[in-house]
Chain A
Amino acid sequence: MGLYKEAKSLISENIRDYGMYIALFVIILTFSFMTDGLFMSSRNISNLLDSAGYIAVLAVGMTLVIVIRHIDLSVGYVAGFLGAIAAILLTQAGVSIYITIPVILLLGIVVGLFNGFLVAQIGIPSFVATLAGMLIFRGALLQVTEKTGTIIIQDDRFNAIGNGYIPSLSQVNGLHLLSLIVGLIGILLYIYSEISTRRNKIKYEFEVVSKGIFVLKLTFISAIIAYLTWILAGYNGFSWTVMIMLLVVIVYHFLTTKTVLGRHVYAVGSNPEAAHLSGMNVKKITYMVFGSMGMLAALSGILFTARLQSATTTAGTLFELDAIAAAYVGGVSSAGGVGKVTGAIIGAIVMASLSNGMNLLGVGISYQYIIRGGVLAGAVIFDVMTRKKR
């Protein structure tokens, strides 16, 4: 009856937005089934999310770069290079971690702004400008790691970023208490924001979905958060990597959906000429998007270096292409103007789930590449097909 019909029409209208969630769900279900539940075990999920972290933050930045119709190929080696610089600062220069991290992030912004300068000011196509950057930073990474080879980091606080977990406070039935609290706060915040948005809409007499659907949606999302929290709390709880990922998503989601700046980004992406004639500063937006990309590349470098507890000569290899793939799986459009931050994270998790699940099943690396390539192509085909329908 009514409820079912409304849900059905909502899904078919928003199939493009829900597509990747459905894909993720199918992937999880398939792997859980094939591995007898090993895939959804606490330990594996925790591992999977940690391994997705450094690509996920890149994918967020890359999504915005692609939204404004550009590309950044330099981010992989920028992450590798800045990770190595972080290692050098921490070990050879003996700089404190509390200074190292801000300095690395700042360096990332500077690199990003320079790319922005080449693209917006000089007018070099971003593909070429950042391809040059890719070569330069690959060389720079080799240069700084050439003498020492791999640089091992002893700083436990730094390594915790990639391997550690938030403190537990105390255990409840073997579950991680602070993680449970974080999950609960997440659910409460989500429900509060949804209800206040709905109230506001009703106050302005705008159309809202029926109460049944609304409650269904709240229960569904809350259940997912609760389930995920429960799984993670059963192992070591939320890792610092997951917390950083969540922070990046929340901040970027807010910036892109709720602020004037976010509107400008999407406007520039969907029609730069019209954006210019609407009084927006297209150059400034280009600078900011590349600057943010640089900062996230630095963050990715920190996450990866901390995870390996060392800086290697090959760190960052192919990160940029993994990030681009994640962004496309997450629904960004190369024609510009379309793409969500939340999509990028889901895209990164989809790609990480594929690797993880296939590793569990013992699928050979050759087939892994082929299957991931197929999923990427499939995601873009799905995107093109659903776009034609609207």
Chain B
Amino acid sequence: MSEYILEMKQISKNFSGVKALSNVNFKVEKGEIHCLIGENGAGKSTLMKVLSGVYPYGSYEGDILYGGNVQQFNKISDSVKTGIVIIYQELALFPDLTVYENIFAGNEVKNGGIVDWNKTIAEAKKMLNKVKLDVNPDTLIKDLGVGKRQLVEIAKALSKDVKLLILDEPTAALNEDDSENLLELLRELKEQGITCIMISHKLKEVISIADKATVLRDGQTICTLDASKGEINEGTIIKNMVGRAIEDIYPKREKQAFGGKILELYNWSAYDPQLGRQVVKNVNLHVKKGEIVGIAGLMGSGRTELALSIFGNAKSYKVEGDLVIAGISSMLRHPSDAIKAGIAYVTEDRKGDGLFLIQDIKSNISAANLKGISSNGMINDNEEIKIADHYKKSLTIKASSLEQLVGNLSGGNQQKVSLGKWLFVGPKLLILDEPTRGIDVGAKFEIYTVMNELIKAGMSIIMISSELGEVLGMSDRVYVMAQGEIKGELLIEEANQENIMQLATQ
């Protein structure tokens, strides 16, 4: 009978009224590899942030028992002291520093306040040996590949005398060989008595490595599966991941006949020179007039990049392939070209790159179509107020006045302002990137209703979404993306949560 190294009991966490976690229970036995799985937004990362002290004690409800004692972490360094180390998906290394400097960054080998570099290098070599990474400790991080960087992160964790290692999607950016190496290393660490929690979207990995697997859904623990009882298999996991019935939160719309193709992509690829890799690979798709096309997939599957490459190549990727708009082969070099061609893009990150938070509602709504409220370059303030007022009413934006700053609105109302801004452009094709992320159910329903009205009026919509329920509830047709590629196309009649998840986790 083995003991629990970690017990998280009845953990609840709210973000300004939205429940991210409710009464989550999560137990990890000493010396096991425990996988944490769930859809995007299921609460996995939040749970790990609660554990590591990113969200300090008191900002959540419930207890963390670690090594048998209740812990009250106020900051990350508190959890590190007890041997809990978390390695995030975006690695936290300093690219311009050497391997040994990185391993001991924040944890320097000191001799009376002065760093002992010789000892540091000697210690670093030991750590590198442990993770079987054969590089000179003098190497700069930026000269290493992603796989090796991951190992440096683990070496860094080992240097802190780690007892519980948490990995957030460690293999997301790795190729198969590097992934296999990493998993092998985790098995060895387990032999040495290090407990490991791994968040992963790749089910094959989970099946090959996990002793236990806990599934989270909508901020709740669904079940904990045990490999020794043969419970960890693809079918069981997917069933538990998606399990929820599609509730009646999607307004009905009548089936309508679609018109001609409004957008077609042939062999469409995009290369991101900053990341130095292909973000969209060989995509073929089309959208018809009056149709809602869902694009499903997990985070990082290239959906947003696809949208940006269509929307006037807004991030200056190197694009290849053919883009055909309403039957005419087109070249869009700037978002303004895309707007002229009748495409609108409601961004995923409305606060980051969607809205002008320090400006008021009316300036935000008119921002993408100032021509529509001006003549000879001069703004007609009254026309602007009239139009903003129209969208405030038709989209039921709740605000004290049109002069209210958008930064002070709730998420749902911000999203409606964003939508209003793009509807004022009068697009033929509306691309919605995660249209209902972080907003409450009531506002969601209103946005779905607006979408239905829009396609009834002849608009076409591409809806990118991580919420399977939303994809199934709103789309006429679904493309599933993974690793920058379209892995499958499903008519809504044949699509279900299981087959979408299967394509997305390939």
Contacts and interface: CB of A to CB of B under 8 A. Distances in A.
A277 B345 contact: yes
B355 to A, nearest CB: 6
Contact of A261 (B356, B368, B377, B386): B377
Interface stretch (A86-94, A175-183, A263-271): A263-271
A337 B407 CA distance: 13
Interface stretch (A131-139, A198-206, A225-233, A348-356): A198-206
B382 to A, nearest CB: 5
A204 B382 contact: yes
B359 A270 contact: yes
A123 interface: no
Given A206-B382, A259-B379, A390 B339 contact: no
A278 B382 contact: no
A274 B335 CA distance: 11
Given A270-B357, A273-B353, A274-B355, A281 B334 contact: yes
Contacts of A337: 356, 358-359
A262 B339 CA distance: 20
B25 interface: no
A263 B382 contact: no
A260 B379 contact: yes
A274 B356 contact: yes
A204 B370 contact: no
Contacts of A263: 363, 366-367, 370, 379
A276 interface: yes
B314 A259 contact: no
B331 interface: no
A142 interface: no
Contact of A278 (B368, B379, B405): B368
Contacts of A206: 382, 385
Contact of A274 (B311, B354, B370): B354
A278 B358 contact: no
Contacts of A264: 370
Nearest to B373: A260
Interface string B334-354: 111011000001010000111
B379 A277 contact: no
A258 B356 CA distance: 18
A280 interface: yes
A364 interface: no
Contacts of A271: 353, 355-357
B377 A260 contact: yes
Find the residue from A271, A276, A278, A281 having the highest chain B CB count within 10 A: A278
B382 A281 contact: no
B313 to A, nearest CB: 11
Decide if the interface of chain A is mainly helix, strand, loop or mixed: helix
B466 to A, nearest CB: 20
A299 to B, nearest CB: 23
Contact of B368 (A203, A260, A279): A279
B392 interface: no
A263 B384 CA distance: 12
A277 B347 contact: yes
B429 to A, nearest CB: 15
Contacts of B382: 200-201, 203-204, 206
B208 interface: no
A200 B384 CA distance: 13
Interface string B421-432: 100000000000
A248 interface: no
B378 interface: yes
Interface in A173-216: 200-201, 203-204, 206-207
Contacts of B314: 276-277
Find the residue from B311, B368, B401, B408 having the highest chain A CB count within 10 A: B368
Contacts of B368: 278-279
Contact of A270 (B335, B358, B371): B358
Contacts of A140: none
Decide if the interface of chain B is mainly helix, strand, loop or mixed: mixed
Interface residues of A, number: 30
A332 to B, nearest CB: 13
Contacts of B311: 277
Nearest to B404: A390
Find the residue from B371, B378, B401 having the highest chain A CB count within 10 A: B378
Interface string B92-113: 0000000000000000000000
B335 A278 contact: yes
Contacts of B363: 263, 266-267
A335 B359 CA distance: 13
A160 interface: no
Find the residue from A261, A264, A279, A280 having the highest chain B CB count within 10 A: A279
B354 A338 contact: no
A203 B208 CA distance: 72
B370 to A, nearest CB: 5
Given A276-B335, A279-B339, A260 B355 contact: no
B84 to A, nearest CB: 35
Contact of B359 (A200, A266, A273, A390): A266
B374 interface: yes
Nearest to B335: A279
B386 A204 contact: yes
A335 B407 CA distance: 15
A281 to B, nearest CB: 7
Contacts of A259: 374, 377-379
A259 B386 CA distance: 18
Interface in A251-296: 258-264, 266-267, 270-271, 273-281
Contacts of B408: 390
B367 A278 contact: yes
Contacts of B353: 271, 273-274, 276-277
Contacts of A267: 356, 359, 363, 367
Contacts of A207: 401
A266 to B, nearest CB: 7
Given A276-B314, A280-B336, A260 B374 contact: yes
A306 B378 CA distance: 35
A174 to B, nearest CB: 43
A273 B335 contact: no
Contacts of B371: 260
A267 B255 CA distance: 41
B331 to A, nearest CB: 16
A260 to B, nearest CB: 5
A204 B385 contact: yes
A275 to B, nearest CB: 8
Find the residue from B311, B379, B385 having the highest chain A CB count within 10 A: B379
A4 B440 CA distance: 41
A169 to B, nearest CB: 34
Interface in A360-390: 390
Interface in B400-418: 401, 405, 408
A76 B339 CA distance: 41
A276 B352 CA distance: 12
A259 B312 CA distance: 25
A281 B385 CA distance: 24
Interface of B: 311-312, 314, 334-336, 338-339, 345, 347, 352-359, 363, 366-368, 370-371, 374, 377-379, 382, 385-386, 401, 405, 408, 421
10 contacts: A200-B382, A204-B386, A259-B378, A260-B374, A270-B356, A271-B353, A274-B347, A274-B353, A277-B354, A278-B421
Q: Which 10 A-B pairs have the closest CB atoms?
A: A279-B336, A273-B353, A278-B368, A270-B356, A279-B339, A260-B370, A279-B335, A204-B382, A278-B367, A270-B358
Given A201-B382, A267-B367, A271-B357, 6 more contacts: A258-B378, A260-B377, A274-B353, A277-B353, A278-B421, A338-B358
